[in-house]
Amino acid sequence: MGGTFDPIHHGHLVAASEAAALLDLDEVVFVPTGQPYRKDDRKVSPAEHRYLMTVIATASNPRFTVSRVDIEREGPTYTYDTLLDLREQRPDDDLYFITGADALDQILSWKDADKMFELAHFVGVTRPGHTLSGDGLPEDRVTLLNVPAMAISSTDCRERTQQGQPVWYLVPDGVVQYIGKYNLYKEQ
């Protein structure tokens, strides 16, 4: 599951857990983006902070891991490169790429979109406020899943923090404390 994870929240974690359970996946690898090329209109937190929050949020789940492939690759992050790196590290594994409905909707505009479907099966999950549709995507390479609705976004978590509102229970406790410790999201 790729994402900016700025910060990681319970919407990400529920989506990952449900996809793993419904598709009987052995492991979910969370891959924080390096330089998210679609988000250069706002300041994205340093990759190390996003990586560490993702580690904190996933540490207690034996099936959840975090990969540094995107943050260690120079230049903008493209999912096609992510999948190439993961395949190289795990040549015998079947890869599934988990995305929310909003991201799935954009996927055909991603770099090397057609080739991505050769490297992984795509899993689109429901997300409040977005319509889940696989229109235009190769049917045999995409699975759509209904997951419990978590109306949480990282944008909202950042805005709440900036305004002094709580993010308790929207993100894991350790992430609340990490945000406080490093004073993240105080300025936008």
Which residues bind to ligand ATP, rule: CB under 6 A? 3-6, 11-12, 15, 99-100, 102-103, 125, 127, 150, 152-155
Residue among 110, 88, 92 at smallest CA distance from 2:
110
Least distance from C-beta 175 to ligand ATP, angstroms?
Answer: 13
Q: Which phi and psi angles does 18 have, rounded to 5°?
A: -65, -45
Burial (CB count <10 Å: 0-12, 13-18, 19+), residue 75: exposed
Helix (H, G, I), strand (E, B) or coil at 47: helix
Q: At its nearest, how many Å lie between ligand ATP and the CB of residue 139?
A: 20
Is the CB of 34 or the CB of 100 nearer to ligand ATP? 100
CB closer to ligand ATP, 91 vs 135: 135
Nearest approach, Cβ of residue 62 and ligand ATP (Å): 21
Nearer CB in complex with ligand ATP: 20/103: 103
Instruction: Please give the structure tokens belonging to residue 116.
Output: 């991505």
Residue among 92 and 150 whose Cβ is closer to ligand ATP: 150
The DSSP symbol for 163 reads T
